[in-house]
Structures are given as structure tokens and as C-alpha cells.
Amino acid sequence: MAVVETLVNLSRPGWDIIKLRGNHEQFVLEYLADPEAYQAGRMYGFTETLLSYGVKPPVFSDAKELRRAHVEFTAALPRRHWTFLTGLPHSHVIGDYFFVHAGVRPGISLDRQSPEDMLGYARSSSAPTNGWRKSWSTAIRQQRKPVLKTNRIGIDTGAYATNCLTAVKLAGEGCMFLSTDDT
């Protein structure tokens, strides 16, 4: 809850802060639509999400518990969080950079990528740039170092598993990484 609240209120004078939908945000929306989605989301940290909103997670196979947790979560989720989550775009373009949460499907032009592709269901280090100079991807699972290739920049250093969170600063043709793992 605190992370979403921080993002809802995040602003910085003189900065354009773009927030993108990722698989975890998508999962919350899927769970709101269907309490059965909880079972798939447990491996993605959704138990902790429920706890952060003050909701006791359901017992894995108990349908009554699934419904109870769903009702409690729906009631506990502030309207501004729902509005924030549903309003998150899947991609953003700045100049010749194409930003997505997780990746693009090879062989499909960037303007025809599906939300599923951009949420991480098409992970390939050889994904073509399809006319864009750079393709932004965070689809590097549990790597402790960012990846810089000719067609993508990957900054997913698996913070949930590695405690290494990475950011990138883009300036002209160059980029600089900042990581909590930097020593």
C-alpha cells in the first residue's frame, strides 16, 4: 500500500515522471475482477500486497476464504489507488526510445505490441528494434547488473530477490546506471 501511495503522490518540480503498468499492477487489476486469480498471484508477492492493505490472505484452496479476502481487499483499496492502477499506460515513447515494463515480442512492430508482450510475456534479447533506435526492456530476471545492448537497455536487477534496485539516466546517446548494489 505504501509503495502505491508513494507513486500516486510522486511529483518533482521540473520533472516529467512517467509511471508504467507492470505485471504486478496488472495482477492487482485481474484479482479485482476475479478472486480466483489470487492463486496464481501468490508467487508474485500478492500475499504481501494483501497484508499491506490490512487484509488477511486466504487459505490457498478455500473458496469461501478467497471470496472473503477479495471483498476485504476491494473495500480496503482506496479509490485513488484503483484510479492510478487503471490509468497506467503499458508503454511510453520519448524521442527514439520506447519504454515498457518487460519487453517486446520479436518480429512485431512496436506500435502493434500487445499489453501481454509489454508486461513480460515476450522476453528475448534479440528482439528487433523495428525502426526505433532503442528498445527499453526490464526483462532481465534476477541479474545483479543492468544490461546494455544495441537494441535494449535492461534494468530489472530483480530487487525483490536480490535487493539490488537499478535506475538509468539517459543523456543523448549515452546512459548511466545507478544501483543500490554499487559499492
8-61 residue pLDDT tens: 999 999 888 899 998 889 999 999 999 988 988 887 788 999 999 999 999 867
- Cell numbers at 148, concatenated: 546494455
- Could you please report the per-residue DSSP string of 31-70? HHH-GGGHHHHGGGTHHHHHHHTT-PPPPTT-HHHHHHHH
pTM, to two decimals: 0.79
Domain boundaries, the chain: 2-87, 91-179
105-131 residue pLDDT tens: 888 899 999 998 888 754 444 444 444
Element housing 147 (H / E): strand 147-148
